[in-house]
Amino acid sequence: MSFRLSGGSRICSRAGSVRLSRGRTGFVAGSVCVGPEAESSFSCTLGGISSGESFCSGGEGPGSGNGMGFLGNEAGLLSGNEKVTMQNLNDRLASYLHHVRALEEANAKLEQKIEGWYEKYGPGCGRGLDHDYSKYFSAIEDLKRQYETELALRQSVEADSSSLRRILDELALSATDLEIQLETLREELTCLRKNHEEEMKALQCAAGGNVNVEVHAAPGVDLAALLDNMRAEYEDLAEQNRRDAEARFGEKSAALQQRISGDAGAAAAARSELTELKRSLQTLEIELQSLAAKKQSYECSLAETEGNYYAQLQQIQDQIAAKEEQLQQIRAETEGQKLEYEQLLGIKTCLEKEIEKYCNLLDGEERRESTCHSSKEGKPVNQIKDSTEETFVRTVVEELDQLGSVLSLRVHSVEEKSSKVSNITVEQRIPPKAPQ
């Protein structure tokens, strides 16, 4: 930390170096040690004289003190005014250092307060500055929906306006075409009027002349009498025609009245029939609508049933496939057990043959022993015959499942030996010797 002092001095307390420049005296303190980290060396240049003394203020190291300390061998180099100046500088330096320590303490306190404030109100602390905006979420969603609806309405209005612009352009084109046609028709009308006026003028000029006609006729017949006679004849004829017409009109009107009366009944019947047909048509339309609804419901139920049946059929097919796989496995196991059974049957046959062979061998040995005993000489002797009987018991255990297939086959053989002891009396006869 560095401070710029009013006297032109710069003090660095933590770095341990202070450079002082005062007026024109030319005094330069090269190093001032403050605190426990101060060194014991001090270089001072005054009027070209350098001294290597220790000058420490406010420290705990060697050579520390509140005043100015010099070694005794160089005390005479400074005059009295310079000593006073150095004393003043030393006092000012001590006050500056005291002020620096106070500022450091204040700075430390401010740093602690700032750290505490950041711990309380800093970002992420969640105390005092975080606000609950959940109550605004519904309003935000409503505004979003309103914005979306207004945007959709705006887009639809823009589309309508663009279509209306196209229609307006078409109408403008058609209006211009109609105006052009109107102008042409007006021109034709003016031409026709002019032609008509010219023709009328020509006809008026042609009819405006005088026509004088002179007829020289001979004296004729009495035209009045002839006209009276003709008038009378025509009146009689007209009366006769009137009578005939009245009679014919009466006949025709009577027939027409009869026809109208008959047609009125037919019309009433037709109206009633038409009403009935309308009613039947309405009932048929209602039935048609109900049948269409039933058809739709039946189609939906049919589709649902087909879907269910398809799912069930798929399950059944899966089960059939699984059962077929199990059947294949069972067949394979049956084939293996059949082969094993055949092998065991062959082993059984071989064992029976061996047993029979052993029995035959035992019988042959017994016979040989009996012949050997009979060939010996001697008295009747009671001999003990030890006969051994061997019995082979084979137990075959088969495990069957519900389908009748062999699951397992176990063969257990037991050999039993039984000894029989019988007293055999052997009588030996010695033939007599021949006399000598």
How many angstroms separate the most distant Cα atoms in the chain? Answer: 237
- The CB density around residue 208, as the number of other CB atoms within 10 Å, is 7
Are residues 100 and 162 part of one domain?
no
pLDDT in tens, 202-237: 888 876 554 454 545 455 556 777 778 888 888 888
Specify the higher pLDDT residue, 391 or 206. 206
DSSP state for residue 39 in the 8-state scheme:
-
Q: Which contiguous run of DSSP H or E holds residue 212? A: none
User: For the chain, what is the domain count?
Assistant: 2
pTM of the model: 0.23
DSSP state for residue 430 in the 8-state scheme:
P
Whether the pLDDT of residue 67 is over 60: the answer is: no
Cα–Cα distance between 388 and 361 in angstroms, integer? 12
Q: Please, which residues bridge with residue 423 across strands? A: 384
For residue 378, tell me if it sits in a domain: no
pLDDT of 274 reads 85
Whether the pLDDT of residue 196 is over 60: the answer is: yes
Are residues 99 and 176 part of one domain?
no
Specify the higher pLDDT residue, 99 or 50. 99
For the chain, give the number of residues: 436
Q: Please, which residues bridge with residue 389 across strands? A: 418
For residue 74, tell me if it sits in a domain: yes
Provide the H-helix boundaries in 76-136: 80-121
Q: Please, which residues bridge with residue 21 across strands? A: 28
CB 63 within 8 A of CB 40: yes
Are residues 36 and 111 part of one domain?
yes
Whether the pLDDT of residue 313 is over 80: the answer is: yes
pLDDT of 314 reads 92
Cα–Cα distance between 269 and 258 in angstroms, integer? 17
Cα–Cα distance between 63 and 31 in angstroms, integer? 14
Are residues 74 and 185 part of one domain?
no
For residue 257, tell me if it sits in a domain: no
Specify the higher pLDDT residue, 106 or 376. 106
Closest CA to 79 of 152, 25, 43, 21: 25
Are residues 104 and 9 part of one domain?
yes
pLDDT in tens, 176-189: 888 898 888 889 88
pLDDT in tens, 334-348: 999 999 999 999 999
Whether the pLDDT of residue 319 is over 90: the answer is: yes
Q: Across all residues in the chain, what is the average pLDDT?
A: 71
For residue 299, tell me if it sits in a domain: no
Of 121, 136, 163, the residue that ends a domain is: 121
Percent above pLDDT 70 for the chain: 61
CB 373 within 8 A of CB 426: yes
Cα–Cα distance between 371 and 365 in angstroms, integer? 10
For residue 53, tell me if it sits in a domain: yes
Quick one: pLDDT band at residue 332, thresholds 50, 70, 90? very high
| Least confident residue range of 206-210, 287-291, 349-353 | 206-210
Are residues 86 and 179 part of one domain?
no
Quick one: pLDDT band at residue 59, thresholds 50, 70, 90? very low
Average pLDDT for residues 3-10, to the nearest whole number? Answer: 40
Domain housing 152: 148-200
Which class for 68: exposed (0-12), middle (13-18), buried (19 or more C-beta within 10 A)?
Answer: middle
Are residues 15 and 81 part of one domain?
yes
Whether the pLDDT of residue 430 is over 60: the answer is: no
Cα–Cα distance between 253 and 232 in angstroms, integer? 31
Of 57, 86, 121, the residue that ends a domain is: 121
Are residues 111 and 10 part of one domain?
yes
**Single-letter amino acid, residue 288:** L
Quick one: pLDDT band at residue 159, thresholds 50, 70, 90? confident
408 φ, ψ (degrees, to nearest 5): -150, 155
Q: What is the 3-state secondary structure (H, E, C) of 269-309?
A: HHHHHHHHHHHHHHHHHHHHHHHHHHHHHHHHHHHHHHHHH
Cα–Cα distance between 2 and 18 in angstroms, integer? 10
Cα–Cα distance between 254 and 180 in angstroms, integer? 63
Average pLDDT for residues 12-16, to the nearest whole number? Answer: 39
396 φ, ψ (degrees, to nearest 5): -105, 120
Quick one: pLDDT band at residue 324, thresholds 50, 70, 90? very high
| Least confident residue range of 63-67, 171-175, 255-259, 334-338 | 63-67
Residue matched to tokens 């105006």: 179
Percent above pLDDT 90 for the chain: 14
Average pLDDT for residues 109-130, to the nearest whole number? Answer: 72
